[in-house]
Chains A and B, each alone.
Chain A
Amino acid sequence: MDAALLEQMLLGALLALSVYLPLGCGQLSLATPGFYAVGGYVAALLSTGVAAFVGSGATSPLWALLAEMVLGGMLAGLIALAIGGPVLRLRGIYLAIATIALVEILRVLNLNLPFTGGAMGIFGIPQPFAHAEGYVLFTLALLALACWLCQRLEALRLGRAMAAIRDDELAAASVGIDTPRTKLIAFVASAVLAGVTGALAAHFLNSWNARAGSFDASITTLAFVVFGGSRFWLGPVIGGLALTALPELLRPVGDLRLILFGAVILLGPLFFPQGLVTAERLRALGALLGRGRHRSRQAPQAP
């Protein structure tokens, strides 16, 4: 497996976690690709504009990448913060539609703003790493950090509040949880993660245009989570890795590959309605490894 594909898989896993975060408190948001595109534009504009002075023009220092990721994440987070209040009043499918509209608005803006390079987008984004392997290691570290945060969330009151809202929003409010605030935190965290990922992806892909954040991408990233399972962070990670790899691995079969890809997405939920990673399978895995890692979410002992 070549490093470039591996890098795309890792980016897919990060985007899947971005969809998973709001879904973890019951919010079906499809806005991830929009924030991903915003983060990418921040990195593309800064590194081809301002940061070209600090690098050689074709390369850029690592600190510049980190700074762009922070700024890309912040801009995405600020947009989420600004629109989250009204948008998160919507529930279920209505929220999904509103967030699709947001992705479209951002896409049209990216196409037409005077500084985003129109339909061609931005080219020649400088490289912080000489080889794809450098990206892989860096992205792996970022994914590990994101997974660790998601794992820690389970032990925190924020994570419990999110799970409570997912199960029953009204009951969550009745035990004193500030439900609008909790949902907003999850939405903003999702946007920040997507923005950070976009900033990294822009460098890796070397060019960036409005197609990065499209309706298609909304559906694909949602498929990652549906396929992998939305209850534990491991599910979206596996879904993101597998479904990003699949179309490339299927390349030898030619035109059939999209049909096969579609069949997998269709059959996955049919045979694994909860996704691949469920409480039961995690427990079985935990028993196999002989450790009680995820004990807190399960009911091992019968009374």
Chain B
Amino acid sequence: MNRSPDATAPVPLLQVEAVSCRFGGLLALDRVSLELEEGEIFGLIGPNGAGKTTLFNVISGLTTPSGGRCLWRGVPTTGLGASGLNRLGIARTFQNLRLFESLTVRENVLVGLHHAARAPLLGALLGNGAFRRHQGRLEARAMELLTLLELAALAEQRAGDLPYGDRRRLEIARALATAPQLLLLDEPAAGMNPAEKDDLRQLIGRIRDHFALTVLIIEHHVPLMMRLCDRLAVLNFGQRIALGSPAEVRTDPRVIEAYLGGQGQARGEGR
């Protein structure tokens, strides 16, 4: 094991160590390092194309980094793949929404409960009492999650027929169904109006407390992030240019320069 010998310093939940990601001539991530502590809400902000989603893809195992690595509770996650990382305790939502559209809302959450759904095959085929009780518990769990995300009334709707905001919350419900310890949210407030954004902010806080989660969140809406996050990192052109509390990040001159376009300066000055 790779545990720190110093017992007083807890091992971070997730360490991103000098991760680089190159797509052809584009360096999407350039030696980015982060550490997530258990229980915090950590925000990732930066202009479009800064590499935020790429970093999410690396952390959740959808993209193999060209350099660097991630450690989960001190253990390297290299080569685990998306499903392996989910089983470790990392769940995510997608910027462009990837629901199982032909399934119902309830079934989407049931798919998320895949690993809780393991049952003896013969009993399952015959649908015996033990299997039906097991199934009943799964259904109850699914409804619990749907209720928490205010989707219970829509349980039998086809996911593909849902309006936008409901889809976003269904993706969160599906991710939560996998019983994660770390939840990655990729632009969960995209396309929402201010009232919905405020609801979402409260919801994320509630979820964090309810499930004792660590949350890593990408969001463009800076005021929302300032209020929601315990810490923030700022990416620009694949590099981490700032890291700290919202107050620290807000006043960081590099952030103002990069993210807000540099007050009073010419835009598009290059990197």
Contact = CB atoms under 8 A, between A and B. Distances in A.
A171 B99 contact: yes
Which of B100, B110, B124, B175 gathers the greatest number of chain A CB atoms within 10 Å? B100
A170 B98 contact: yes
A163 interface: yes
Interface string A152-188: 1001110011011011101111111111000000000
Contacts of B82: 170, 173-174
Given A152-B125, A163-B103, A175 B81 contact: no
Contacts of A287: none
B71 interface: no
A259 interface: no
Interface string B53-81: 00000001110000000000000000001
Interface in A140-158: 149, 152, 155-157
Given A296-B107, A299-B156, A175 B177 contact: yes
Interface string A272-303: 00000000000000000000000111111101
A175 B99 contact: no
A152 B127 CA distance: 8
Contact of A164 (B94, B103, B115, B156): B103
B177 A157 contact: no
Contacts of B101: 167-168
Contacts of A172: 100, 111
Given A161-B114, A170-B82, A175-B112, A299 B104 contact: yes
B81 A149 contact: no
Contacts, number: 105
A166 B103 CA distance: 10
Interface residues of B, number: 41
Interface stretch (B1-9, B39-47, B84-92, B241-249): B84-92
A89 to B, nearest CB: 13
Nearest to B60: A174
Contacts of A170: 62, 82, 98
Interface string B131-162: 00001000000000000000001101110010
Contact of A171 (B61, B98, B110, B156): B98
A142 B271 CA distance: 68
B83 interface: yes
A235 B48 CA distance: 46
B60 A164 contact: no
Interface residues of A, number: 31
A176 B86 contact: yes
Which of A163, A171, A301 gathers the greatest number of chain B CB atoms within 10 Å? A171
A163 B100 contact: yes
Contact of B157 (A175, A177, A303): A303
Contact of B104 (A149, A175, A231, A297): A297
A170 B63 CA distance: 11
Given A149-B125, A175-B91, A160 B115 contact: no
A239 to B, nearest CB: 19
B111 A161 contact: yes
Given A167-B101, A168-B98, A173 B83 contact: yes
B99 A174 contact: no
Contacts of B169: none
B100 to A, nearest CB: 4
A175 B114 contact: yes
Nearest to A166: B102
A163 B102 contact: yes
Given A163-B111, A174-B92, A299-B158, 17 more contacts: A156-B119, A157-B117, A161-B114, A163-B107, A170-B82, A171-B94, A172-B100, A173-B62, A173-B81, A174-B98, A175-B86, A175-B175, A231-B102, A296-B104, A297-B107, A303-B153, A303-B157
26 contacts: A152-B124, A160-B110, A160-B114, A161-B111, A161-B114, A163-B107, A164-B103, A164-B111, A166-B102, A167-B103, A170-B98, A173-B62, A173-B81, A174-B82, A174-B83, A175-B175, A179-B83, A295-B156, A296-B104, A297-B103, A298-B158, A299-B104, A299-B156, A299-B161, A303-B153, A303-B157
